[in-house]
Structure 1
């Protein structure tokens, strides 16, 4: 196991949905310092309120955009490890592909280059299950073909290819994590660009019927954010020097099953509305995506903890605490 005792870690995107939980997980370890680098495009300082009470945790004081090469290099000086979660999200990439190129592709190159320049021992980088596109086999192993058709997935494929090149050319240790469908607190609950779980919860809270596109049979691998954060730390602590890994549960849940579970937890008997896909959505739709967890278990020692019902309840509890939900 890789010893991270007294290590100094830079968390890029550390004020975001997953990043804020990664910071929490790192502070459970005997590290010397955790520095958060974030431009707050999606992250919030409020998500780090408790973590910043720890004297080992701080914000990098002069900004935090991965497109700002000189500032990025300054932030990495003297650090041992980097965890990078900064990215434009899927639907943002769909509408703003050129910006997605600069953030997700050029920005990833900047991170890799800065890691080499600053002699970073290992980089943990966020990829995505979007690289796979629609499943040709279930569960999807890491050798599954790249059937992606959207800009977001294309940017993550490019990032993985660059990570491979940096590992080969410079010996940079990189572990890429292909997240399945992540949900939980700190995910943007109200923005136009958000996930299926917050959308359903918002509908029910507003006393409106949840809407399912298609017949609800499309199935995915839902994983709670705390498990994803723990996987980042497991990858950092592992002896593995390079590789790409699924981060999921290997549990297949249809959108109908997800909706039924949420309605049950909300004690609601609300009727579900089914509507046809738009032509645009139907073309881009991934019908099934469930990831094999075997390689991550065997090589980086990660196994998920939270079943879907438990994770959803934790999310609902957080929404109640923050005033987004009346219970």
Structure 2
């Protein structure tokens, strides 16, 4: 078991959706210092507001990118552990694949190189269930073949391969976390690249019927962001190394079930609109992805705390309290 007592932890992407929650979870421990490294392309300074009163939490400069190796090198000085969450998101990668290469692949190489140079004890790398593509078996274990067909998933596969190579060549301890469908506060609620849950909530709040592509039978594994953040801390603390883990609930929820639940929680009488997939989407989009959580339970001691209903209620409450500010 790795102790975080008085440890210095660098959280790369620490002002982002998941990263800001990881910072919060770390500060619940007896960690010595948490340094946030973020370029604020997607993260927000306001997400760090709850921690500004904690002297253990500091921001490295007012915006720093993982492509800037001199800044990354400076930020990592004296760090015991690193959590690497910085990445371009799935649809952003689709539209800007060259930039995605430089951020997600070259940037991850920069992080790994700096970890070795500064003798970091352990890295937690944020991967994604996108590496799997569409399910050939449900639930998907960590042995599921890589069947990804998009740039984002390709960049995460490359990151995983580099982690393993750095472990083999330099002895850099790491754990990779393959997130299922993460949702919750601090997820981008309004941008073009946002997720399915914010899109549905935005429609309902505008008194417009939510739209489902296809027949709504496509099913996923939804996991609340605070559970994901807690898993990152457990991964730092665990003895496990050179391993990858699914981070999900293991619960299968169809998009129709999700939409019906959101309408119920919002007390809305709106009726769903069904829209056919475009030919391109029908061929490329993942229709079924549910992760097996057993390995993370056994090795990391991670079990999710928030079921979908509870997580959605917390998200709805956060949106209400932060209306116009997200």
Range into which the TM-score falls when normalised by the shorter chain: over 0.9
Partner residue, 1:171: 171
Whole-angstrom CA distance in 1 between matches of 2:277 and 2:241: 43
Gap change, CA 1:132 and 1:150, over 3 Å in 2: same
Q: Are 2:147 and 1:147 aligned?
A: yes
Provide, for residues 186-218 of structure 1, a one-character-per-residue CA deviation record: whole Å limited to 9, x for no partner: 000000110000000000000000000000000
The alignment's C-alpha RMSD in Å is 0.9
Alignment of 1:202-217 (within 5 A): 202-217=202-217
Partner residue, 2:279: 279
Deviation at 1:278, TM superposition (A): 1.0
Partner residue, 1:118: 118
Partner residue, 1:33: 33
TM-score (structure 2 length as normaliser): 0.99
Provide, for residues 208-264 of structure 1, a one-character-per-residue CA deviation record: whole Å limited to 9, x for no partner: 000000000000000000000000000001111221100000000000000000000
Alignment of 1:154-165 (within 5 A): 154-165=154-165
Q: Are 2:18 and 1:18 aligned?
A: yes
Provide, for residues 92-114 of structure 1, a one-character-per-residue CA deviation record: whole Å limited to 9, x for no partner: 00000000000000000000000
**Where in structure 1 are there 5+ consecutive unaligned residues?**
none
Whole-angstrom CA distance in 2 between matches of 1:269 and 1:248: 31
Alignment of 1:47-62 (within 5 A): 47-61=47-61
Deviation at 1:41, TM superposition (A): 0.2
* Preserved CA contact (<8 Å) 2:132 2:144: yes
Deviation at 1:282, TM superposition (A): 1.2
**Where in structure 2 are there 5+ consecutive unaligned residues?**
none
Alignment of 1:73-84 (within 5 A): 73-84=73-84
Deviation at 1:62, TM superposition (A): 5.5
Whole-angstrom CA distance in 2 between matches of 1:72 and 1:282: 40
* Preserved CA contact (<8 Å) 2:4 2:32: no
* Preserved CA contact (<8 Å) 2:263 2:269: yes
Hey, which bits of structure 1, 4+ residues long, moved more than 6 A?
A: none
Deviation at 1:279, TM superposition (A): 1.6
Provide, for residues 24-72 of structure 1, a one-character-per-residue CA deviation record: whole Å limited to 9, x for no partner: 0000000110000000000000000011210000100263211001110
Whole-angstrom CA distance in 1 between matches of 2:13 and 2:52: 15
Deviation at 1:283, TM superposition (A): 1.8
Partner residue, 1:194: 194
TM-score (structure 1 length as normaliser): 0.98
Provide, for residues 140-179 of structure 1, a one-character-per-residue CA deviation record: whole Å limited to 9, x for no partner: 0000000000000000000000000000000000101000
Structure 1 window deviating more from structure 2 (302-311 vs 60-69): it is: 60-69
Count of residue pairs the alignment pairs up: 325
Whole-angstrom CA distance in 2 between matches of 1:269 and 1:227: 31
Q: Are 2:135 and 1:130 aligned?
A: no
Gap change, CA 1:172 and 1:201, over 3 Å in 2: same
Partner residue, 1:65: 65
